[in-house]
Amino acid sequence: MCLAIPGRILEIRGTDPLSRTGLVSFGGAVKEIHLVCTPGARALDYILVHAGLSLAVIDPAEASRLLETLGSPEQEHD
Amino acid sequence: MKYLDEYRDAGLSRKLLDGIRSLVTRPWVLMEVCGGQTHGIVRHGIDQLLPPEVELVHGPGCPVCVTPVRMIDRAHAIAGRSDVIFCSFGDMLRVPGSESDLLTLKSRGAAIRVVYSPLDCLRIARENPEREVVFFAIGFETTAPANAILAWQAREQGLTNLSLLVAHVRVPPAMVSILESPDNRVQGFLGPGHVCTVVGYEEYEPLAARHRVPVVITGFEPVDLLQGILLVLRQLEEGRSEVENQYPRVVRREGNIVARQWIDRVFEECDREWRGAGWIAGSGYRLRPGFEAHDAEKRFDLSGVISAAPGPCLSGQILQGAKKPHDCPAFGHACTPEHPLGPTMVSSEGACAAYYLCGRHRDSRRP
Ligand code: SF4
């Protein structure tokens, strides 16, 4: 139920903050997603979506930091 | 799929498991709070790969599972009315109430619709002005912004035929209730990553300090889960009890401010009944004054709804981490996903369904 999945915004629709939506691709399947809670989301951003609503713009720097930290033996698990 | 595949990498998972094995010196009991985490842990067999000193118990974080039968019966009473279109997330349809479930009511002719997003109800209400449209607003903090925006828009757009049956729950009071139970065994938590994406983790800091329990806000993929487990274990071994964030690619300490403002505009905290745990103070959301017209419990007379005493299902104890699916005599026999006797067998995030779907009803040796 708290499942939220990442998707990529292909196109933004509308400018009104309350009704702005994005066409979002989830590995190829495209859905229209409400962007009201992520006003900073732009086309080509990856967002986290739950129940048709975008909850966060995924931070690419934080995402790669975790993987780099785990991937480099000298900094293992830190 | 980017942001999923990298976090399912076998090499990184092995490395984290090695780290966990070399770190652990004595037995520890950890709880993963969220049902999505339970599902990931069981599906990837993570609990069976951990060293024998580390036990994972499954937490209450499945909203379908914790919604009490009293609320399910109220939903059924509303859904059975001929003037109502009842909208729900699909997971709720097969949860047994005292007499029936929504799927059976639907087969008898009730107008029950499964929606992907609560906001789909706005269109349904507009298209059916002669019918009452009711949404079963269950969920944790993760779902609260969508449900809040639904109620707000219903009022703004003057949709007088649209209301919400609100059964919203909040995670931190449930964690406190588990910690304060005399039977508690939990020494550290994997915190709920998507709940904290919305509301942040400030509220967890006093909880961790007061109860001397580490909380690591954790994601849902194998690499996330293993790193979360490693961070909790490291705190336990070092005698620390802090809140750490394993999931910073979406979780910030303050959460999503815009989403929190929506929750705040529409909902206020209230006491709520949980399956298994009973009433917990401050553990829910209800609609604020000003939204009475969109509150299904105020729109419909539900005073005649009486719920049966709970049957032999152990889901309440399973949700408290006190029992595991194998402890239930019905597990895999009388109770299966095709014929669920309790909610933890219905939702794929329920521990009973997660165990069953991964074939664990065939293996009685390992819980
Ligand atoms: S196996 Fe079925 S009856 Fe037993 S606790 Fe799980 S849901 Fe309840």
Task: Please answer yes or no on whether B249 and A70 come within 8 Å at the CB atom.
Answer: no
Instruction: State which residue of chain B sits closest to A72, comparing Cα positions.
Output: B12
How far apart are alpha carbons A34 and B282 in whole angstroms? 29
The CA distance from B327 to the nearest CA of chain A, in Å, is: 25
Q: Which ligand 1 atom sits nearest the alpha carbon of residue B318?
A: 5
- In chain B, where does DSSP find H-type helix? 10-23, 35-43, 46-49, 63-66, 69-79, 102-107, 120-127, 144-156, 171-180, 193-199, 204-211, 222-238, 257-266, 296-299, 315-319, 351-357
- Chain A residues in contact with B116 (beta carbon < 8 A): 51-52
Among partner residues A2, A59, A63, which is closest to B61 by beta-carbon distance? Answer: A2
CB distance A53 to A32 below 8 Å: no
Q: What per-residue confidence (pLDDT) applies to B3?
A: 84
DSSP character at residue B276 = T
How far apart are alpha carbons B259 and B332 in whole angstroms? 40
Whether B306 has its CB under 8 Å from any CB of chain A: the answer is no
Overall pTM > 0.80: yes
Domains of chain B plus CATH, in order, are 1-304 (3.40.50.11740), 315-356 (no CATH)
Whether B64 has its CB under 8 Å from any CB of chain A: the answer is yes
Q: What is the CATH number of the domain that holds A69?
A: 2.30.30.140
B331 lines ligand 1 (CB under 6 A): yes
Per-residue confidence of chain A (78 residues) as pLDDT tens digits?
668 999 999 999 999 989 999 999 999 999 999 999 999 999 999 999 999 999 999 999 988 888 888 874 434 443
The CA distance from B226 to the nearest CA of chain A, in Å, is: 11
pLDDT digits over B187-198, tens only?
999 999 999 999
To the nearest whole percent, how much of chain B has pLDDT over 70?
Answer: 98
**How many alpha carbons lie under 13 Å from residue B235 in its C-beta half-sphere?**
24
Please report the ipTM that was assigned to this predicted complex.
0.90
Q: Which helix (H) or strand (E) holds B164?
A: strand B162-169
Number of domains present in the structure of chain A: 1
The CA distance from B38 to the nearest CA of chain A, in Å, is: 12
Print the domain residue range for A33. Answer: 5-75
Residue minimizing CA distance to atom 5 of ligand 1: B314
Strand partners, B32: B58, B190
pLDDT digits over B205-247, tens only?
999 999 999 999 999 999 999 999 999 999 999 999 999 999 9
How far apart are alpha carbons B294 and B159 in whole angstroms? 9
